[in-house]
Homo-oligomer: A and B are copies of this chain.
């Protein structure tokens, strides 16, 4: 499948590399059409790995994955272009984090979420919020954890969520994905990031996840 990745940071590179290894064609989109990080990544990963602008990547992808920093996501998606997102599944992995102070805080929370803002800004895309509750190494290889854990999806379109749940299982190995409901449930998973930050310090590693037990 052709995947348009938005973002050349650690999350974009980790997901991009995994998808190339699986045989997909991946275009990594950046603000800068000659982003050195994206060029280096594409050279390393071989001929299934491409790079370009946000717009190039969104036009290329049958599915789009937003891996930009939360603070930059709406701007990146605007550059990607409404027409290039229309009718496509847009997997949103971002968190609206403000890293500027010692304690993480969120730029949006409680009465709104980045997931909702993206869906409102691009009503013709099928936004599915997922993967944002785990570190990127866990995103693409949950089987490295000592037990089966849970991932979550939020989105308004049932079929888009079903497709994403299948993708998460088949591409990355997520066997248990909980459908939280519509895109408004992005609030909870985005606000979870504050808790995740404390847990990371408590367990002294970003490689962990949670399992829901009844």
List chain A positions with a Cβ less than 8 A from chain B.
Answer: 103, 105-106, 109-111, 145-147, 149, 154, 178-181, 184-185, 187-189, 191-192, 194-199, 201-203, 205, 207-214
The 9 closest A-B pairs by CB, nearest first: A188-B195, A191-B191, A188-B194, A180-B198, A210-B210, A188-B198, A185-B198, A211-B211, A208-B214
Quickly give the copy total for this chain.
2
Q: How far is the CA of A149 from the CA of B147 in the complex (A)?
A: 13
> Would you give the shortest CB distance from A193 to chain B, in whole angstroms?
8
A154 to chain B, nearest CB (A): 8
Is the beta-carbon distance between A213 and B208 smaller than 8 angstroms?
A: yes
Whether A196 contacts B203 by the Cβ 8 Å rule is no
In the complex, chain B residues whose CB is within 8 Å of the CB of A208: 212-214
Nearest opposing residue in chain B for A188, CB measure: B195
The answer to whether B202 touches A178 (Cβ under 8 A) is yes
Residue of B nearest to A147 (CB): B213
The 15 sampled A-B contact pairs (Cβ below 8 Å) are A103-B187, A147-B213, A179-B202, A180-B199, A181-B198, A181-B201, A181-B202, A191-B192, A192-B195, A199-B212, A203-B212, A208-B213, A208-B214, A209-B213, A210-B212
Which of A103, A110, A198, A210 counts the most B-chain CB atoms under 10 A from its CB? A198
Which residues of B have CB within 8 Å of A211?
147, 210-211, 213
- Which single residue of chain B is at the shortest CB-CB distance from A154? B198
B188 touches A103 (CB 8 A): no
Query: Whole-angstrom distance between the alpha carbons of A194 and B154 in the complex?
Result: 13
In the assembled complex, the CB of A20 is this many whole angstroms from the nearest CB of chain B, namely 28
Q: How far is the CB of A174 from chain B (nearest CB, A)?
A: 13
A10 to chain B: closest CB distance in Å? 20
Query: Which B residues are in CB contact (< 8 Å) with A109?
Result: 109-110, 191
Nearest to A142 among chain B residues (CB) is: B213
A214/B210 contact (C-beta < 8 A), A180-B198, A181-B198, A194-B188 known: no
CB atoms of A195 and B189 under 8 A apart: yes
Q: Which residues of B are found within 8 Å of A103, using beta-carbon distances?
A: 184, 187
